[in-house]
Structure 1
Amino acid sequence: MQVLPTTLDGVLILAPTPHRDERGLFTRTFDTATAARAGLDPAAFVQDSQSRSRRGVVRGLHGRVGGGEAKLVRVAHGAVHDVVVDARPGSPTFGRWEAFRLDDVDFHVLSVPRGCLHGHQTLTDTADVCYRIDAEHDPAEDVAVHHLDPDLGVGWPLPVSLVSDRDAAAGSWAALVATLTGDGPGRG
């Protein structure tokens, strides 16, 4: 498994080598030694979750304030356009976003550090996205920024077919920045 850098500070891709033959394939989805070499604490991950979405669905942009959470994200079936927004005020890449294709061909695992927003759009008929998270969920820490926020300008490759009520009502990037930096009440 290789560790590949991205343009966002601390965001990494863990790239396995799937082994394919006439039976199908086998791939490693997590390796503690690789995680440790990349500066991740393999023992810190306490929760695994999975979502299934249809083509065009956007989930996100979600994050946590307070203690936050780091996550490893991968696609078990299908493909997604995955987006990470750096929402860490002290980061050199604060306010920037980067998109990644995660799919069931390359099986890349995206390492998303604490303090980042995350979301994805399903590119295939269905996609199963798996999350390994390093903190128990605390709903009081939830924040969300609208997926079409003009200040972020995230480009979604397909027309957005569906979002949750929570995501449709998500706040603005400007309000979250005000909250994170103490420049105003914000609502994230």
Structure 2
Amino acid sequence: MKVIPTGIPDLLIIEPDVHGDARGFFMESFNQRVFEEVTGVTATFVQDNHSRSAQGVLRGLHYQVEQPQGKLVRVIQGEILDVAVDIREDSPTFGHWDSVRLDAAHHRQLWVPPGFAHGFLVLSDSADVLYKTTDYYAPQHERAIRWDDPTLAIDWQRHAWHWGDIPRLSAKDATAGRYLDLLSSS
């Protein structure tokens, strides 16, 4: 397994060892001991989630004000632009974001530590996204930040969109609050 740092310390791209030949491939998608040794992260995962989304769907930017979740994200079909925003108020990268393309062909994963808002945009016709979480989903503590928040100014790579100017959003994400407003009320 290889770890690639991002522009935000603690937010890590993970490249698992993939063994392939003419028959296909084999990889360990997760090994607790290796994950801890290579990343230095000692996380206990309590929930596995699987979402399937169509092209142009944007899920996020979600976080929990209590029971914050660390997430280990991977794509098993399709391609996404995965985005994480550091909302840890004591962090030197507070308010910074980074993104990475994840796809089924390259098997990369993204470690998103607790204390980040997280979201992704589906770039392919559809995408299946799997992610492990370090705490349970708690809808009463969930919050969302607008995907197009002007303070964050996230580059969602609109130049590559083939479906229009606005992504497909859930009702919750379409009415999400602004970054500065949500943090002042958390």
> Normalized against structure 2, the TM-score is what?
0.91
Match of residue 67 from structure 2? 67
Amino acid at match of 1:139: P
Give 1:9 shift.
2.3
CA contact (8 A) 1:58 1:160 kept: no
Cα deviations by residue, 1:158-177 (Å, 9 ceiling, x for unpaired):
24441100000000001122
- 8 Å CA contact retained: 2:67, 2:138: no
- Partners in 2 of 1:176 and 1:86 — Cα distance? 14
Question: What's the counterpart of residue 29 of structure 2?
Answer: 29
Distance 1:140 1:68 in 2: 12
Q: CA deviation at 1:66?
A: 1.9
The letter for the 1-side match of 2:178 is S
Once the two structures are overlaid, the 10-residue window that deviates more, 122-131 or 12-21, is 12-21
Kindly report structure 1 stretches of 4+ aligned residues shifted beyond 3 Å: none
| Structure 2 Cα separation of the partners of residues 104 and 28 of structure 1 | 14
Tell me how many residue pairs correspond in the alignment. 179
Unaligned runs of 5+ in 1: 181-188
Indicate the SS of the match to 1:56. Answer: coil
List aligned pairs for 1:82-101, cutoff 5 A: 82-101=82-101
- Conservation of the 8 A alpha-carbon contact between 2:78 and 2:124: yes
- Larger CA deviation: 33-42 vs 93-102: 33-42
User: Is contact 1:57-1:160 (8 Å) kept?
Assistant: no
RMSD between superposed Cα atoms in Å: 1.3
2: distance between equivalents of 1:160 and 1:57? Answer: 9
In the TM superposition, what is the alpha-carbon distance from 1:99 to its structure 2 partner? 0.7
The structural deviation recorded for 1:142 is: 0.3
Query: Partners in 1 of 2:31 and 2:13 — Cα distance?
Result: 13
